[in-house]
Amino acid sequence: MKRVISGNEAASLAVKLSRVQVISAYPITPQTTIAEKLSELCGSGELDAKFVKVESEHSAMATLIGASSTGVRTFTATSAQGLALMHELLFWASGARLPIVLVDVNRAMAAPWTIWCDQTDSLAQRDTGFLQFYCWSNQEILDSVICAFKIAEKLLLPCMVCYDGFYISHTHEAVEIPEQSDVDKFLPPRDAEYRLDTKDPRTFSGGTLPANFMEIRYKLQKAFEKAPDVINTTYGEFDKLFGRSYSAVEPYYTDDAEAVLLASGSAASTAFHAIRKMRQSGIKAGLLRLRQFRPFPEKELLSYLKPNIKYGVLDRDLSPGTGGVIAQEIRAILNRNNVRIDINEFIAGLGGRDITVDNVTEILLKVRDDKGDKLQINWVGLKN
Amino acid sequence: MPEMAVSESSMDWNKTGSWRSSTPLHKNITPPCNFNCPAGENIRGYIDLLKDKKTKEAFELLTEANPFPAVCGRVCYHPCQASCNRSSLDREINVRKLERFIGDWGMENVNKQALPPTASKKIAIIGAGPAGLSAAFYLRKQGIAVTVYDENSMPGGILRYGIPSYRLEKDVLAKELDRVLHGIEFKSNMRFGSDFDISDLLGFDAVFLATGAHLSKTMNIDGENIPEVESGLNFLKTANSNGSGNLKGKEVIVVGGGNTACDTARSAYRFGAKVTLVYRRTEAQMPAFAEEIEQLKKEPIKIEFLTAPKNIRKTDGGKLGVTFIKMKLGLPDSSGRSRPVPIADSDFEMSVDKIFTAIGEDPDLSFFGNARIKTGGEFDFSDIDERLKARLFVGGDILPNPRTVPHAVGSGRLASEKIAAFLKGEVLTQSEDIEVIAGPGDINFDYFSMINLTKRGSHPAESGFANMDEASSEAARCFSCGVCDHCDNCHNFCPDMAVIKTSNGYHVNLEYCKGCGICARECPRGSLKMDGTE
Amino acid sequence: MAGTNSPGLKEITVFGRGGQGAVIAAEALADAYFREGYHVQSFPSFGVERRGAPVTAFLRIDNEFIFLRSMIYNADIGLVLSPDIVKGPLFRQSLKDNAAIVINSPARLPELDGRSAWYVDATGIAVSHGLGSKAQPLVNTAMLGAFAKAAGNLKLENLLRAVEESVPHKVENNLRAVNEAYESTVSLG
**For B276-298, how does the pLDDT look when each residue is reduced to its tens digit (9 = 90+)?**
999 999 999 999 988 889 989 99
Contact A167 C66 (CB under 8 A): no
* pLDDT average, residue stretch B367-387: 77
For residues A225 and A285, membership in a common domain is answered with no
- pLDDT tens column, A81-91: 999 999 999 99
Domains in chain B (CATH in brackets) are 16-28+485-532 (3.30.70.20), 32-110+441-475 (1.10.1060.10), 122-214+363-423 (3.50.50.60), 217-360 (3.50.50.60)
pLDDT of B246 strictly over 80:
no
Say how far apart CA A319 and CA A326 lie, in whole Å: 10
Say how far apart CA B42 and CA B3 lie, in whole Å: 58
Q: At what angle do helices B43-51 and B468-475 cross, to 10 degrees?
A: 120
Residues 73-112 of A with CB under 8 A from B: 95-97
- pLDDT tens column, A232-274: 999 999 999 999 999 999 999 999 999 999 999 999 999 999 9
Amino acid at B398: I
Strand partners, A52: A24
Percentage of chain B modeled with pLDDT above 90: 71
Q: Is residue C50 part of a domain?
A: yes
Any idea what DSSP says for residue A199?
Answer: T
Round the average pLDDT of chain B to a whole number and report it: 91
For residues A230 and A86, membership in a common domain is answered with yes
For residues A301 and A369, membership in a common domain is answered with yes
Shortest CA gap B13–chain A (Å): 10
**Mutation target among A55, A203, A217, A226 for the B interface, most CBs of B within 10 A:** A203
For residues A159 and A303, membership in a common domain is answered with no
The chain A residue lying nearest C71, using CA atoms, is: A354
Is the peptide bond between C7 and the residue preceding it cis, with omega within 30 degrees of 0? no
Strand partners, B26: B528
- Looking at residue C134, its pLDDT comes to 85
Considering only CB atoms, which chain A residues are within 8 Å of C47? 115-116, 166
Q: Is A275 on the interface with C (CB under 8 A)?
A: no
3-state secondary structure chain C: CCCCCCCCCEEEEEEEECCCCHHHHHHHHHHHHHHHCCEEEEEECCCCCCCCCEEEEEEEEECCCCCCCCCCCCEEEEEECCHHHHHCHHHHHCEEEEEEEEEECCCCCHHHCCCCEEEECHHHHHHHCCCECCCCECCHHHHHHHHHHHHCCCCHHHHHHHHHHHCCCCHHHHHHHHHHHHHHCEEEC
Residues spanned by the domain of C66: 10-188
Is the peptide bond between B116 and the residue preceding it cis, with omega within 30 degrees of 0? no
- Residue B231's SS3 state is strand
Which phi and psi angles does B494 have, rounded to 5°? Answer: -60, 120
More confident residue, B457 or A9: A9
* pLDDT average, residue stretch A227-234: 98
- Looking at residue A198, its pLDDT comes to 86
Nearest to A201 among B2, B4, B12 (CB): B12
- Looking at residue B458, its pLDDT comes to 43
Contact A203 B6 (CB under 8 A): yes
* pLDDT average, residue stretch B156-178: 94
Chains touching chain C at 3 or more Cβ pairs under 8 angstroms?
A
- Residue B309's SS3 state is strand
Task: Tell me the mean pLDDT per 10 residues along chain C, length 189.
Answer: 58 92 94 96 81 88 96 95 88 90 94 90 95 90 96 95 91 96 93
Of A48-62, A67-81, B58-72, B446-460, where does mean pLDDT reach its minimum?
Answer: B446-460
Contact C47 A116 (CB under 8 A): yes
Q: Is A230 on the interface with B (CB under 8 A)?
A: no
Is the peptide bond between C83 and the residue preceding it cis, with omega within 30 degrees of 0? no
Of B128-137, B145-154, B400-409, C143-152, where does mean pLDDT reach its minimum?
Answer: B400-409
Which phi and psi angles does B138 have, rounded to 5°? Answer: -75, -30
Contact A203 B7 (CB under 8 A): yes
- pLDDT tens column, B179-232: 999 999 999 999 988 899 888 999 999 999 999 998 889 999 999 899 889 999
The residue among A215, A242, A269 that closes a domain is A242
For residues A193 and A261, membership in a common domain is answered with no
More confident residue, B372 or B299: B299
Q: Shortest CA distance to B98 belongs to which of B449, B405, B476, B397? A: B476
The chain B residue lying nearest A69, using CA atoms, is: B6
Q: Is residue C4 part of a domain?
A: no
Q: Is residue A384 part of a domain?
A: no
Nearest to A4 among C31, C44, C65 (CB): C31
Contact B6 A202 (CB under 8 A): yes
**Which CATH number does the domain housing residue C27 bear?**
3.40.920.10
pLDDT of B316 strictly over 90:
no
Highest mean pLDDT among A255-269, B305-319, B366-380: A255-269
Contact A206 B12 (CB under 8 A): no
Say how far apart CA C148 and CA C150 lie, in whole Å: 5
Round the average pLDDT of chain A to a whole number and report it: 96
Contact B4 A97 (CB under 8 A): yes
Confidence of residue B353 (pLDDT cuts 50, 70, 90): very high
The chain A residue lying nearest B8, using CA atoms, is: A202
Contact C46 A352 (CB under 8 A): yes
Asked whether at least 3 C-beta pairs link C and B within 8 Å, the reply is: no
Percentage of chain B modeled with pLDDT above 70: 97
The chain B residue lying nearest A217, using CA atoms, is: B4
For residues A184 and A50, membership in a common domain is answered with yes
CB B70 within 8 A of CB B103: yes
For residues A269 and A204, membership in a common domain is answered with no
Shortest CA gap C127–chain A (Å): 29
**Mutation target among A100, A218, A219, A224 for the B interface, most CBs of B within 10 A:** A219
Could you give the ipTM of this predicted complex? 0.95
Contact A266 C69 (CB under 8 A): yes
- Residue B303's SS3 state is strand
The residue among A192, A217, A242 that closes a domain is A242
Say how far apart CA A92 and CA A65 lie, in whole Å: 8
For residues A193 and A112, membership in a common domain is answered with yes
Say how far apart CA A320 and CA A310 lie, in whole Å: 25
Considering only CB atoms, which chain A residues are within 8 Å of B2? 193-194
Residues spanned by the domain of A192: 2-242
pTM for the full model?
0.74
The chain C residue lying nearest A269, using CA atoms, is: C67
Shortest CA gap C186–chain A (Å): 30
Confidence of residue A371 (pLDDT cuts 50, 70, 90): confident
Contact B6 A205 (CB under 8 A): yes
- Looking at residue B244, its pLDDT comes to 64
Beta strands in B137-200 (DSSP E): 145-149, 185-187
B489, B495, B499, B503 alpha-carbon torsion, rounded to 10°: 60
Contact A173 C40 (CB under 8 A): yes
Contact B3 A223 (CB under 8 A): yes
How many structural domains are present in chain A? 2
Chains touching chain A at 3 or more Cβ pairs under 8 angstroms?
B, C
Q: Is residue C5 part of a domain?
A: no
Say how far apart CA B414 and CA B421 lie, in whole Å: 11
For residues A180 and A207, membership in a common domain is answered with yes
Nearest to B4 among A198, A200, A205 (CB): A205
- Looking at residue C6, its pLDDT comes to 46
Any idea what DSSP says for residue B397?
Answer: G
Q: Is residue A367 part of a domain?
A: yes
**Which CATH number does the domain housing residue A359 bear?**
3.40.50.920
Q: Is residue A119 part of a domain?
A: yes
* pLDDT average, residue stretch B87-109: 94
Residues 89-118 of A with CB under 8 A from C: 115-116
- Looking at residue B462, its pLDDT comes to 60
Q: Is residue C2 part of a domain?
A: no
For residues A118 and A148, membership in a common domain is answered with yes
Sheet holding B229-231, edge to edge: B229-231, B354-357, B251-255, B274-278, B302-304
Contact B6 A219 (CB under 8 A): no
How many structural domains are present in chain C? 1
For residues A283 and A184, membership in a common domain is answered with no
- pLDDT tens column, B480-505: 999 999 999 999 999 989 999 999 89
- pLDDT tens column, A184-219: 999 999 999 999 998 888 999 999 999 999 999 999
**Which CATH number does the domain housing residue A35 bear?**
3.40.50.970
- Looking at residue C2, its pLDDT comes to 38
For residues A197 and A267, membership in a common domain is answered with no
* pLDDT average, residue stretch A309-331: 96
Of A221-230, B235-244, C37-46, C119-128, where does mean pLDDT reach its minimum?
Answer: B235-244
CA angle (B70, B75, B77) in 5-degree steps: 120
Q: Is B449 on the interface with A (CB under 8 A)?
A: no
Considering only CB atoms, which chain A residues are within 8 Å of C12? none
Q: Is residue A182 part of a domain?
A: yes
- Looking at residue A51, its pLDDT comes to 97
